[in-house]
Structure 1
Amino acid sequence: MKNEKKIQQSINRREMLKKSGLALAAAPFYFGLNSCVSGAKKTMDADVIIVGAGLAGLNAALLFEQAGFKVKIVEATDRLGGRVHTAKESDVPGHPELGGNGIGGGYARVLDAAQKYGVSMGPMRPRTEARKGELVYRIKNNFILPEEWPTHDLNTLPEGYRKGLPAYVTWGHFGKINPLPENDLAAWRDPKYKDWDKSTYSVLKDEGFSDDDIKLVMGTNSSYGVDAQNISIMMYFQILTWIGQQNASTGKGGAIVGGNQRLPEAMAAAFKQDIMLSSPVKSIASEADATTITLDNGNTLRAPYCLVTLPASALRRIQISPSAQGIQQKGFQNLDYTPVVQLHYVPKKKYWEEDGLPPSMWCDNLAGRFMALKNDLQDPDRVTSCVAFLNSNVALEIDKMKQEDAIALVTKTLEDIRPSLKGALDFTYYWTWVNNPYAGGAYAYWKPGEITDFANNLADPIGRIHFAGEHTAVMNRGMEGAMESGERAAFELMDLLG
């Protein structure tokens, strides 16, 4: 409780400074104790400048600080956490996660940080998975209950794949053919498995799936990538091996009480040095004895080393000197991120009681996964909000539209397919990870051949510039992968700093 109070005081201090006018649009905002910046520095600003205040950057910063090094963090946006982002209660009741959601029992670094920095763990908060009996499929203009799907006339999937949610029916087969050793979380990068770094589409065609079947199971509401042709089956092998390790863990996962963003905020509150918010980086130069970081506003920072923790999609907007070469440059330019767009609503009535259908829907149209969320810890059966969670090509299509047009189209689609939703929903919040210059998507995905081509080289230093972020993680994924990468980079640089 004492730590939580301290965290809130630090956050309140930040809000107070913002309101006082210190956080001007054209100037960086400082979250720290010793802030100063000028256009021409004669001395170093820190031992390490960290670009990005997500979990990777914050974990690295705290490790540096504990080891006695001087650190500054530079963050482009006005908040902490990167792709860990919780909706405000004032925007969406129940404050659902907009970014990183579940915390597994094997998220050792995340769970340790939660305990260390005084945030409480609570139960998992499902976002795109409905409770048993609370989901109906909407496929080819038909409502189909899960128990009806295996024998339904519209189910044309091959024998052995007709039971279960379409997006998950292939996972069992992927598990059977997974060549990776169960206990080797780094094997997915081993060149000896390069023949498996091929399209998931080719694997499913070999199993007798038609193109329409593949579109249903891999191109509709897919949590990874866009479609089967553009994602490597090796990525699924990595995910399955990692899930196996998570399931074998004895730890207790869940979600952060109050939202997962409370964790990076707590980490930032524990960090005693500077975090410069609203400070996009324009360029980073590695020189003979230092790095120079130039912000969009023209101010510069200098340090012996720079640690960049941005996703590759965000790194593409920054000029790096000397530039990346060869396969690393290919990786920076080509690694893509899973498209995610979310439209949040507050239900004004119990529409599911009106039509007798389950409250949540898995749709093969612009409605995506329409989920009735239950995020009230005191009343866990109450629907607090609904979300149209869009992935794959649907997310890309919607994201190209003007926001007001996208909202109108998705809302109309929902009302057309389910009349009980007419007048039942108040739109409350729109969030996109796609049209976001500092993210470009929710998390990295690997296209066929990319793991073999450049996965092992994305974190290679460029002179004095080093790299971290979930896309550079070897053993873990998601939030834990980000923490792993920050830890790896911090120890790497400590060896150089001496």
Structure 2
Amino acid sequence: MKNNRNKQTAKQDFSRREMIKKSSLFIAATPFLSLSSCVSASKKAFDADVIVIGAGLSGLNAALLLEESGFSVKIVEATDRLGGRVHTAKESDVPGHPELGANGIGGGYARLLNAAQKYGVGIGPYRPRTEPRNGEILYAVKGNFILPEDWEGHKANPHPEGYRKGSPTSPPWSIYSKLNPLPKNDLVAWRNKEYTKWDKSVYEVLKEEGFSDEAIKLGVSTNSSYGVDAKNISVLMYFQILNFLTQQSQFNGQGGAAVGGNQRIPEAMGAAFKQDILMSSPVKSVASEADGVDIILEDDKKLRARYALITLPASALRRISVSPTPTQQKAFKELPYTPCCQIHFVPTKKYWEEDGLPPSMWCDTLAGRFMALKNDPNDPDKVTSCVAYLNSSVAVQVDNMNRETAIQTVTKTLEDMRPSLNGALKFVHYWTWIDNPYAGGAYAYWKPGQITEFADGIAAPNGRIHFAGEHTATISRGMEGAMESGERAAFEILNLL
């Protein structure tokens, strides 16, 4: 309730400022009063009221809110594109331009969907990437090809009785659902102290429920969407994810994907922003002073603002000289990011027709989740490309190879597993989030104890420096979490300007 009251107060303050701004504009328009005559000499030294570091969804959302309230804002972006971890492959790189970063837009992603509508980006159907279409998946486990209908009774299925149905990764979710202590409609409860006893490892919880090490490895540590090992993931995080997914399920039939790729949304937001965006400008240091914030770029260019908003992932913050609180310092140093790399191919023949098996495979090998993507809206049954989507330890293992070796190794793994793939895959694109200095992985996850230790303090303002980003969101996850965090930080700063 306290968070809701704070947010409501911030919005009321924002409305009052809008009224004041309109009055000020009227005064400034009179022929006898120059706006600059109302500005102090010290303010003239500022490059902007607020400098936003990072042009992902959180930074762009915050910058637009601040700009709409009449303040001068400058965005600083380290790379040569907008969107951060929202990144759509170019059509020239991969046919069907699949998402290299954030993929699905949930029906309850209100902020993101509103932004798409406001800035003229169409929303089309959801584009499956790591979740295959019905009837198009094959499980490749322990050298066996297993159809979903045969998985429950198959000898390669290591899950205990009562949990053998579904996919190789679904049984742990049954446990999360059974044990989840969080109120179903409360998306902030995971931060409450009464649930800290659940800030323990998934491994510990599953062992207590009768899962073997083999079952845990297959269900959580193989092709996992979060983390690397069940011993290093907090089950409390999964409880919050489950609540968020339950909330999103109320909007079935809504959401989907941006027409032309999800990166079109941040690009449209950037185009709507009327002030400066400094591209290819990595930040070296950020220092909060009594009367402003000093920012030095890697090319030694100096910027100054009344306030700064840092929206970078914690992994990228490790590269920047900034003086966080002790809690933040620990969080920025230790918060982990899910390893992810992708190897994209174009099929040169219909291998699935050759062997009569489904085109996509969930593998317990270096092939990861090998998915046949169908991204041509004019021909929805056409396989436009295939991707070996690697998470968990296999992503780390492959990413540690040089690129040529990685491509050759994964390709050979696929061909050895499935003879119909011999000569069927033309490599077209390699992408990794792991060694990306401005990402460090696909998205943040929480290790046991970390939610208790620093979830509440990670986004706390430090002097004139404020923080946002998907990892600081309280209610939402993914792209909507990034939008939420940017909104929250914008209101924080608006209450101070």
| TM-score normalised to structure 2 length | 0.90
Alpha-carbon distance change, 371 to 434 in structure 1, aligned in 2, over 3 angstroms = same
Question: The residue matched to 2:152 in structure 1 has which SS?
Answer: helix
Counterpart Cα distance in 1 of 2:252 and 2:146? 37
Residue 358 of structure 2: aligned partner: 358
Residue 489 of structure 1: aligned partner: 489
Q: Deviations over 1:387-427 (max 9, x none)?
A: 00000000011111111111111011111111111111110
Within 5 Å, give how 1:7-406 maps onto structure 2.
43-249=45-251, 252-320=254-322, 323-406=323-406
Question: The residue matched to 1:151 in structure 2 has which SS?
Answer: coil
Q: Deviations over 1:323-347 (max 9, x none)?
A: 2232221111100111110000000
Counterpart Cα distance in 2 of 1:227 and 1:139? 18
Counterpart Cα distance in 2 of 1:344 and 1:357? 20
Question: The residue matched to 1:169 in structure 2 has which SS?
Answer: helix
Aligned pair count reads 455
Counterpart Cα distance in 2 of 1:50 and 1:328? 19
User: How far off is 1:249 after superposition?
Assistant: 3.3
Counterpart Cα distance in 2 of 1:122 and 1:382? 17
User: How far off is 1:156 after superposition?
Assistant: 2.4
Q: Deviations over 1:154-178 (max 9, x none)?
A: 2121011111111122212211110
Counterpart Cα distance in 2 of 1:58 and 1:407? 35
Larger Rg belongs to: 2
Question: The residue matched to 1:148 in structure 2 has which SS?
Answer: helix
User: How far off is 1:213 after superposition?
Assistant: 1.1
Segments of 5+ residues of structure 1 without an aligned counterpart are: 1-40
The code of the aligned residue for 1:311 comes to P
User: How far off is 1:125 after superposition?
Assistant: 0.3
Q: Deviations over 1:135-154 (max 9, x none)?
A: 11110111111111111112
Question: The residue matched to 2:496 in structure 1 has which SS?
Answer: helix
Counterpart Cα distance in 2 of 1:258 and 1:43? 42
Question: The residue matched to 1:103 in structure 2 has which SS?
Answer: coil
The code of the aligned residue for 1:298 comes to D
The code of the aligned residue for 1:122 comes to G
Residue 410 of structure 1: aligned partner: 410
Contact residue 325 and residue 462 of structure 2 kept, 8 A: no
Q: Deviations over 1:48-77 (max 9, x none)?
A: 000000000000010011000000000000
Q: Deviations over 1:266-296 (max 9, x none)?
A: 0000000011110000000111101011000
Alpha-carbon distance change, 195 to 268 in structure 1, aligned in 2, over 3 angstroms = same
User: How far off is 1:133 after superposition?
Assistant: 1.3
The code of the aligned residue for 1:199 comes to S
The code of the aligned residue for 1:314 comes to A
The code of the aligned residue for 1:437 comes to P
Counterpart Cα distance in 1 of 2:226 and 2:255? 22
Residue 27 of structure 2: aligned partner: none
Question: The residue matched to 2:107 in structure 1 has which SS?
Answer: coil
Counterpart Cα distance in 2 of 1:225 and 1:463? 32
Residue 6 of structure 1: aligned partner: none
Contact residue 76 and residue 279 of structure 1 kept, 8 A: yes
Counterpart Cα distance in 2 of 1:111 and 1:94? 22
Counterpart Cα distance in 2 of 1:96 and 1:59? 24
Counterpart Cα distance in 2 of 1:432 and 1:297? 26
The code of the aligned residue for 1:244 comes to T
Question: The residue matched to 1:304 in structure 2 has which SS?
Answer: strand
| TM-score normalised to structure 1 length | 0.90
Residue 452 of structure 1: aligned partner: 452
The code of the aligned residue for 2:476 comes to N
Q: Deviations over 1:230-277 (max 9, x none)?
A: 100001000000111111237720000000000000000000001111
Counterpart Cα distance in 2 of 1:299 and 1:141? 56
Question: The residue matched to 2:148 in structure 1 has which SS?
Answer: coil
Counterpart Cα distance in 1 of 2:240 and 2:433? 23
Contact residue 347 and residue 425 of structure 1 kept, 8 A: yes
Segments of 5+ residues of structure 2 without an aligned counterpart are: 1-42
Residue 17 of structure 1: aligned partner: none
User: How far off is 1:42 after superposition?
Assistant: 7.1
Within 5 Å, give how 1:457-468 maps onto structure 2.
457-468=457-468
User: How far off is 1:196 after superposition?
Assistant: 0.3
Q: CA RMSD in A?
A: 1.0
Residue 437 of structure 2: aligned partner: 437
Q: Deviations over 1:301-322 (max 9, x none)?
A: 10010000000000010001xx
Question: Segments of 4+ in structure 1 off by > 4 A?
Answer: none
Residue 428 of structure 2: aligned partner: 428
Counterpart Cα distance in 2 of 1:150 and 1:244? 25
Contact residue 106 and residue 251 of structure 1 kept, 8 A: no
The code of the aligned residue for 2:257 comes to A
Further displaced range: 242-251 or 167-176: 242-251
Further displaced range: 114-123 or 240-249: 240-249
Further displaced range: 60-69 or 244-253: 244-253
Q: Deviations over 1:351-405 (max 9, x none)?
A: 0111111100000000000000000111101000000000000001111111111
Q: Deviations over 1:174-212 (max 9, x none)?
A: 111100011111001111100000000001101111111
Counterpart Cα distance in 1 of 2:318 and 2:256? 34
